[in-house]
Amino acid sequence: MRQSLVLLLMAVIAFPAHPAAASPLLQGGAGGMVITTEYAPGTQPIIDTFLATIVPSDWLVPEGSPARYEMHVISSTSEDRRCEYTLPGGVKVVYALNTMRIQLAITITDLETGEPLESRTFEGYSYNCPQTVTNRTGTDTVYGDLPPDEIASWLARVMALASDADVVVVLTGHSDLVRQVTYSPDGQTILTVDNTVRTWDAQTGQQQQGPRAGLGLVSSAAFSPDGSLIAAGNSNGAVTVWDAVTNETLYVFETASDDQWGDQVNAVAFHPDGTRIAAGGYNSRIEIWNLATGEKQLDLQGHSDNIVAIAFSPDGSAILTASDDGTVRIWDAATGEERLQFTGHEHQLWEAYYSPDGQHVLSHEWAGGVLVWEASTGDVLFQLDADNPFFSPELALYTPDGQAIVTVEMYPDKMITRWDAQTGERLGVLRSLEDVPETVVRSLSISPDGQHLAVALGDRVAIWPMQ
């Protein structure tokens, strides 16, 4: 048994003696894709089989791709680790494992211009001590801390977007998952949230402002109805309002604290006339401030769990709120009196919106159920794809004209679908997302003219035409 274990380990840690120079690893054909590895002078390269495991060749060469991948080991240091285990039955195994600390840099370059399109560095150990011993005859495979799944997912996302001929622009540069994407009222600017707040030119994809400093960890943000102001709520319970052009901070509101759950603000919304702002989050309350005086006007209490969505009705007379308690509630915007409570969801809610004409309400639970309600009565009009037990969209949103509902689905099929907003009938698939593997989809926004949709895909935002 011990002999077979030693042979296994020797096979795993045996590194070939490569020269310290660039060498092709994987090469594409018509698509023009090239994978190269380059090692710093005097360092020992990772074995090619490890790189091949990180970068499978099947999705690296999409037809007509304009991009080129270059993979470089920018640093590597070697050390011996003492690995010691006691097998079931009391047999002790001790061995030395040669490990390397690796910095792996991947750059994507436009073949025509030579300009770098995207770059990222990954760090970790190429090999490490196995964590467990499974039985009397062997160990788990020795594996590394360098995250091959993360590398492959990142490359695949970038590649899928680069090879999509219909993509209008891709917003890149976020440091974390994009949790929110929102068009400005005039459609010229896009606001994104990834723990920070940034604004982008919707036509060119160029970053305009951000990441804005002094906000803490941002959890939600919104434009004012005329686009002149931006408000952001953070994980500490503060709501900051600033001028969208000058970047000047105008107000900082502190929400009421909740000792049990914390203070995070999950949702902010402006009144249609721009005079008030509402916020809610972990404290289960909806607080409304007057922007002319800075004073709190209302404090709505009734939900029993986190607030996840807030929206004023188009005429400004009512406030819609959704909570992890599974309910949607309608409140009088002037008095704070609760008018209606919608019950029917079986799970925590994810989002809720008024239809553009204010006649209906769309609500979406975590498990996927999308309900459309009569806003004035709280009666359910229909549920999207109610007979399909596998229908579980990530996102759902009205189009600006109110004629359709758009959903983003990632299971069992990856696609963006359009539905009739009056009947719930499926109208057709807008776009397949099959070429965007293992992507975290967190937010969707449609331009005010209804011509483009922006989807948060991991740490970037893709903008596609609606047709």
For 8, phi then psi, to 5°, come to -60, -45
Distance between CA atoms of residues 19 and 17, nearest Å: 7
DSSP string, 300-364: EE--SS-EEEEEE-TTSSEEEEEETTS-EEEEETTT--EEEEE---SS-EEEEEE-TTSSEEEEE
Distance between CA atoms of residues 209 and 204, nearest Å: 14
**Is residue 454 within 8 Å of 181, Cβ to Cβ?**
yes
Distance between CA atoms of residues 7 and 426, nearest Å: 59
pLDDT of residue 97: 54
pLDDT of residue 143: 37
CA angle 243, 194, 56 (to 5 degrees): 145
| 3-class secondary-structure state, position 98 | strand
HSE (side-chain half, CA atoms, 13 Å) at 186:
9
Distance between CA atoms of residues 286 and 330, nearest Å: 12
Domain 169-465, CATH: 2.130.10.10
pLDDT of residue 156: 62
Can you list the residues of the chain whose pLDDT is less than 50?
Answer: 1-64, 128, 130-144
For 410, phi then psi, to 5°, come to -120, 0
CA dihedral 365, 370, 376, 381 (to 10 degrees): -140
Distance between CA atoms of residues 361 and 69, nearest Å: 46
Question: Model's pTM, two decimal places?
Answer: 0.74
pLDDT of residue 187: 97
Distance between CA atoms of residues 300 and 307, nearest Å: 11
pLDDT of residue 173: 82
DSSP string, 144-171: -SS-HHHHHHHHHHHHHHHT-TT--EEE
pLDDT of residue 16: 25
- The domain locations on the chain are 2-162, 169-465
pLDDT of residue 99: 59
